[in-house]
Structure 1
Amino acid sequence: MKFRYKVVIINIILLSLGIGTVGFFMIRRNFQLALDAQIKTSIEENNLLQSTIEYRLLDTINSSPSNLVYQMKNLSADVVGKMGGNNKGVYVFYDGAEVVHSAADDNKLSCPEELWSTAVIGQKQYMITKEAGRYYLFSCSTSLVQDKKMNIINARDITETYQLVENERRYFVLLLGIVVLCCTVAVFVITYLLTKPLETLNRASKKFGEGDYESRVHLRSHDEVGTLAQTYNQMADAVCEHMDELQGMVTRQEQFVADFTHEVKTPMTTIIGYADMLRSKEMKRENQVLAASYIFHEGKRLEAMSMKLFDFIYTKHRKIEFQPISVVNFMQEVTESVTPILAQKNQTLVCTTVEARIEGDSNLLKSAFINIIDNARKASEQGSEIRFFAKQTDDGVQIGVQDFGVGISEEHLQRIFDEFYMVDKSRSRKEGGAGLGLSLAASIVESHGEKLEIESTVGEGTTMWVVFHEKNLTEQ
């Protein structure tokens, strides 16, 4: 069952119960008021009968006390004959069961015995009975005449009061039905308008679940439903962003596997080819040495690539333990590590440092800057100069490497930190590179909460640097 139908049904039930309860008590109260008015009128008539009969009987007893019952009949008939109103019967009982007078002989209306037989002197009593589909109200008063009880009872037809209540009830049921019908239509329309945005949201969610990731909800309402729609759109945007990230991650992994396979295949092909030549052919000594050199060179390249790949994977899964690092000592240790490889191309490393401290993993950061300097070495000419500098900035301490080599074009800068990406593959392989050095450096820097920045101009050189912000600085 749809939500709007549930709302309509619940509202109609509550409305019917509410109006029905109010109507029931109102009709009941009106009936009680009308009945009380009838009882009051009947008792007043009974009081009038009692006082008149008692007064006439007193005169009769004083003047002629004999034959009291006969005189009482005549007296009661005379008094009742002069009474008007809505009286349907007047009864006078004397000394228990003896009926002195009854004015209801014509319509055969019977007086309830339990009313006058249990009557108490000086008290008023009444009883309502139903005969032949009509309702009658009997009022009774009791007097003591010559030490015997005299009961005076009058009856009123109150059928109109009950008919009035029944008419009110029927009218109320009809009115209730009309009101409930109108309210049902009104509640349904209102509920439809209120739940329509929810259906729109539901359709969008269903489309999103079926793969339509561009599905969004456009609602102008400023209530909770509008807020829910905005939240849904934000969630959908976030999911799409994460999906794009996952897709990009999958693409990078596939590219990583493809590049890794290619980088391993190239030296393995060379090694297998030269090894097969050494195994199957008789070669001169110098050719054997040349083939063995190729095998050794490609093997070393595989070894370097596997070590960097291990470092790269290890860095991504290692928890960084931050320790205070002296910038001066750190740069000196890096310089000592790269001096031998720079000497191979007669290159000079100019180091400019600053008295400061940063926080991080010294070994990982050292590996990052060694790879950056090694990349600068490969991009620089024989006998060139490479600058390794540190300086204080408004944001923190900047440590960087600048070379004056071939530079990197704008199109390559966007992918320079990708795994196995090489701007000049032939030069990189000649230098023993595998395209993992800068990726490893960027990953290490990122694990420290910072970012490896790069600027480069083709033919002028490249500068790479890291700014260690306040969170990675310690006091001197």
Structure 2
Amino acid sequence: MKYRTFLTTLALFLFSFNLGIVIISIATFKDTVHRAEEKSLGEHYFITSALLKDFHAVESRGTDLDSSLPSLLQPYSYFSPDKKVKLALYKGNQLVYANRQEIPLPDSFAEPPKDGNRLVSMQRSDGRTYVVVSGKLPAPYDFYTMVYLYDTTDVITAWERMKNMLFFAGLLLSGLFALGLLLLLTRIFKPLSQISQISRNIAAGAYDTRLPVSGHDELSEMAQSFNYMAEEIQRQIQQLEAAAQQKQQFVDNLAHELRTPLTAIYGYAEYIQKVVRTEEDKLLATSYIMSESRRLQNIAYRLLDLATLRENKIERRDVRMEQLLQGVEQAMSIKAAEQKVRIAYEHHFDMLSCDVDLMHILLVNLLDNAVKACSPGGVIKLVADLENGRKVIFVQDNGKGMTEEHLARITEAFYRVDPSRSRSGGGAGLGLTLCQQIASNHGAELSFSSEPGKGTTAKLTFASSV
């Protein structure tokens, strides 16, 4: 373990240290190039501005401009006494003046943009490095192109020497650090026999046992390692318990959600078997049975996704509100008819981006609770509307209603407003818990308002971008 710690620490140090040197070198190089480019741009601007005045003066005297170019440009040849600056003047693509030997340039530098922008680049030629600035003279001399070359070879060479010195110094410092680290770890890592018994106790299941940590010697290091081990074991046990609870929750949710489609399937099958209807009616009932069967499959897949995906990602697509609300109403129509409750739905926007199957589950659960709360002759409204620029869907009934105490807890798993209601009649107490989870996955807010004797309103508010 000593050598593993030594190698890991040394590797991290070497990586961090050399990464720092590389970052410093790159930053220094960029700063060097930037300053050279800024200097070149400034001097190019100065020369072109002065040359423009000279051109005006020559033309005002009636002298031919092309024949005067060498004499006009000659003074600028001494702009840099150390001969690091080279000038070239192009007329169109033709070189008309150069104060030094010509350096091959890309075609774009002989013909820079005509919008007044200048080209700046680093070029290498004959083992030398240059900053090249190319730009057209202002109108009416914009058919001339001034190319300015600044020799930065010495600056780049100085930077390379500095970079090499940094890496050499880093190599020496890394060697000293490695030697010191090896001596330190040799002193720290010693046999720790007294911890063996405590480690066996922890391995036997005494997870709450912790070793005292004091000082910075080998005992404290081993104590920290064993304490971390015990904490990890406890954490994993808690995760296993949570996973088991989630699986049970999944089974309960699945059983709860299978009931509504199965009820619809059974109702339509009984309708076909016992009622004399036309072939068209039977075909329609068969379509509903097939639709609900497919929904059973989708429900199983979606609940599995919600139980297993940590990020709770859902697959959204645009759905027509008329189709969604009609499907929800059809799924609850038989149960509503049995309770002599009427369901009325309407919509004031056309499309909704959502996971269709999960949204169907949510609305069916809300309608199911509303049907249970209503007395015969009750009315349930299922409305999709716009409120302050946001899409909302609400389910409103005129049933028995709830008190504030019950209203605050109705989304808790297995909570019942009426404890005396049987499971077969009142459900498993998971419907609204699942509705809350589905709403959260859609970035929506599920809220409830109720008053005893006047009914309950469940409201689903979406984000404005939905």
TM-score normalised per structure 2: 0.41
Higher relative contact order (CA 8 A, sep 6+): 1
Instruction: Decide which structure has the larger Cα Rg and report it.
Output: 1
Q: What is the TM-score normalised by the length of structure 1?
A: 0.40
